[in-house]
Structure 1
Amino acid sequence: MKNRTGVDLYLPDGSPNFAYTPFGTKPMVELAYMGAALWSIILIAHVGLAVRYRTWYMAAAIVGCLLETLGYIIRIIAIQDPFTTAKYSSQQAFIILGPTLVAATQYVMLEKIIHFSYPSASPIKHYLITRIFVVSDVITFIVQCGGSAFLLLPTPTPAQIDLGTNILLAGIALQMVSFFAYLALAIVFYRRATTLEGKGDVHPSELSANWKRIFFTLMISGGAVCIRSVFRIIEFANGFSGPIATNENYMYVFDFGLMIIAMFAFVAVHPGTVLRHNASSVHVEMK
């Protein structure tokens, strides 16, 4: 079978000629199945833990896991029908948008850690952290949704794909700037809190020395999201037909792998096992 330009869309053995698909090269459907399976497991784990410990502030991250799961399921479908640009664009959009919601949850968690440990160590009022960074995250999420909208068109033109990609690039770049500011704030808080802890400045109702356990988990997760954002900026700067976008190994290492680490970290050390709120009073229990 040939397209309008006379290019053979299928190889002699009947398999698709992926050189003429959005993928650029033949992807491994086995990796897509692995991605869908692992994200499904992490999604189920987070839903179960959120229900068990009533950590509703993890809702955004759970939706992020859902988007990642859907992204890899659609990737399987896209590999089986590689000439449909909309399916390729859809899986990209879901996989790209998921981490934005994960970042929103990380902002909320830092505020909770500061509130229940050393509020005075925070460079800004702890309650402003969620307001400032979540608002920033919402803005960048909307920008990325705008870019994704072009990719999700039934039959996007090359110009629309380029425009959507550039908008996504701008959204991720803005998100990374915000996230670097968040990490800087977290580091300043940690240094100040450690100093206060060394002086014995701890109240009975506050976190014990084990507050560092959830803080380090948050930093591991945050660092993974940050590195992933840097990767996506480099990828988009080279375009969907560039050497990075057309080599799925990069995506599975620097996006899939890092995001799995980011969310598995909160399965291994779930906030619900550290921050427990008493219904009658504000209370934190360390296990």
Structure 2
Amino acid sequence: MTSDDFDDFQLYRYTPNQGAARFFAIMFCIICVIIVPVFVSYGCKSMKKVSSYLDANTSVSYSIKYYNRTQLIGAYVPFFFGIGAEIAGYICRSISTLNQEKVGPYIGQSICLLIAPTFYTATIYMLFGRMAHLLQAEKLMIMPAKYNTTFFVVGDVFSLFLQAAGGGLMANESSVTTGSNLVTAGLFVQIGWFGLFMLNEVYFLFKLGKLDNPIASGSKTWKRLNIILLINCVLILVRSIVRAIEFIQGYKGVIISHEWFLYVFDAVPMFLLPVIFVTFIRISSIYRVQEESVEIQTSYNFEPKAVDIDNVSTAITRSSSDMNHNIYNYEVENKV
């Protein structure tokens, strides 16, 4: 955007619909009331099942990979914050419709609705990282497993700060150009990071199914979870692209001048995300992936091995540390 785009500056280029803002504020409140207790309670029940597997198989000689309750539920905390940001955004928007010249509510709705999806993406990044760890398939990540989640979350946080700063500046006519440019930059950072992450997800989905991985072969949940993460990624990506086009078009553009774009390409997709998560929690959640992973790891015929993505030859050395239960330790050596 250029300064010429902001002649006859107004906070809104249309008359905002109070009914629509109130409707989505109520809908996000409802899904928040449903999703938080469901995820917490299901997480607690899942950990009891995982503990039963661990307690029944204390004689295994290798390290079992799993997460505690706080680590798994903690992955969803940014998601809860994202829903909270949506609620705050539409409440502020509803208030703003009563006085369209008042800056405070406008800044509140602008910032909250811009940054809410970045909280969603943080949860998606963490769920993917935990899933790869539980499947013992970290080598299929584009970054080293130790830094993969951190890499994407840092990009997400950087995008969040750019959009938040830009959203605040856009309420002032003297800084509206700077604010718009910051928001656009933040959206492109989000799109770039997210696009890279989605490529990794697609590669992970197709590559892991072809490898000799006993956990992935025995788990029915990880593919469903990965597909759901991809669907949610597409929803966020479409939303971010439309918002980026909005700011590129400028203050007099078609998107920023018509309110329905906000609800169709922002409110609806961002509401569908938590609905999808809570609808399929019993058949495609990280909790279920962990249950299946630990059950397989504690089985007597489980053979821990590293994922070999290059189809190199693998030398396996057996150790008879516990012949009574036929448990083997493997030492994997990759030969180029």
TM bin (shorter chain): 0.7 to 0.9
Q: Does 1:274 align with 2:285?
A: no
CA distance in 1, matches of 2:154, 2:20: 35
CA distance in 1, matches of 2:175, 2:9: 18
Q: Does 1:135 align with 2:154?
A: yes
**1:46 Cα deviation after fit:** 2.5
**1:16-165 alignment runs, 5 A limit:** 21-52=10-41, 53=43, 54=69, 55-117=73-135, 118-151=137-170, 156-165=171-180
Aligned to 2:205: 190
TM-score normalized by structure 2? 0.70
Aligned to 1:13: none
Deviations 1:86-118 (A, max 9, x none): 322321111011001111111111111212223
Q: Does 1:214 align with 2:225?
A: yes
* Closer, same or farther: CA 204–164 of 1 in aligned 2, 3 Å: closer
| Structure 2 counterpart of 1:106, one-letter code | I
Q: Give secondary structure in 1 for the equivalent of 2:214.
A: coil
**1:122 Cα deviation after fit:** 3.3
Q: CA RMSD in A?
A: 2.4
Greater alpha carbon shift after TM alignment, 257-266 vs 74-83: 257-266
CA distance in 2, matches of 1:205, 1:193: 7
**1:183 Cα deviation after fit:** 0.4
Between Structure 1 and Structure 2, how many residues are aligned?
Answer: 256
Aligned to 1:261: 272
CA distance in 1, matches of 2:214, 2:186: 41
| Structure 1 counterpart of 2:124, one-letter code | Q
Contact 2:235 2:269 in 1 (8 A): yes
Deviations 1:151-196 (A, max 9, x none): 4xxxx43121221121111011111100000001111111111212
CA distance in 2, matches of 1:255, 1:275: 30
**1:69 Cα deviation after fit:** 0.5
Q: Give secondary structure in 2 for the equivalent of 1:209.
A: coil
CA distance in 2, matches of 1:192, 1:37: 42
CA distance in 2, matches of 1:192, 1:126: 16
Contact 1:25 1:246 in 2 (8 A): yes
**1:240-251 alignment runs, 5 A limit:** 240-251=251-262
CA distance in 2, matches of 1:277, 1:60: 23
* Closer, same or farther: CA 243–85 of 1 in aligned 2, 3 Å: farther
CA distance in 1, matches of 2:107, 2:249: 16
Contact 1:140 1:171 in 2 (8 A): yes
Structure 1: stretches of 5+ with no match in the other structure = 1-18
**1:199-238 alignment runs, 5 A limit:** 201-203=212-214, 208-238=219-249
Contact 1:50 1:272 in 2 (8 A): no
TM-score normalized by structure 1? 0.81
Aligned to 1:6: none
**1:23 Cα deviation after fit:** 2.1
Contact 2:163 2:187 in 1 (8 A): yes
**1:30 Cα deviation after fit:** 1.4
CA distance in 2, matches of 1:149, 1:206: 49
Aligned to 1:171: 186
| Structure 2 counterpart of 1:262, one-letter code | L
CA distance in 2, matches of 1:81, 1:34: 19
Structure 1 runs of 4+ off > 6 angstroms?
none
| Structure 2 counterpart of 1:175, one-letter code | Q
**1:207 Cα deviation after fit:** 5.7
CA distance in 2, matches of 1:230, 1:139: 17
Identity %: 25
**1:257 Cα deviation after fit:** 1.1
Tell which has more relative contact order, 1 or 2 (C-alpha 8 A, sep 6+). Answer: 2
Greater alpha carbon shift after TM alignment, 179-188 vs 139-148: 139-148
CA distance in 1, matches of 2:139, 2:9: 58
CA distance in 1, matches of 2:205, 2:167: 36
* Closer, same or farther: CA 228–112 of 1 in aligned 2, 3 Å: same
Greater alpha carbon shift after TM alignment, 125-134 vs 266-275: 266-275
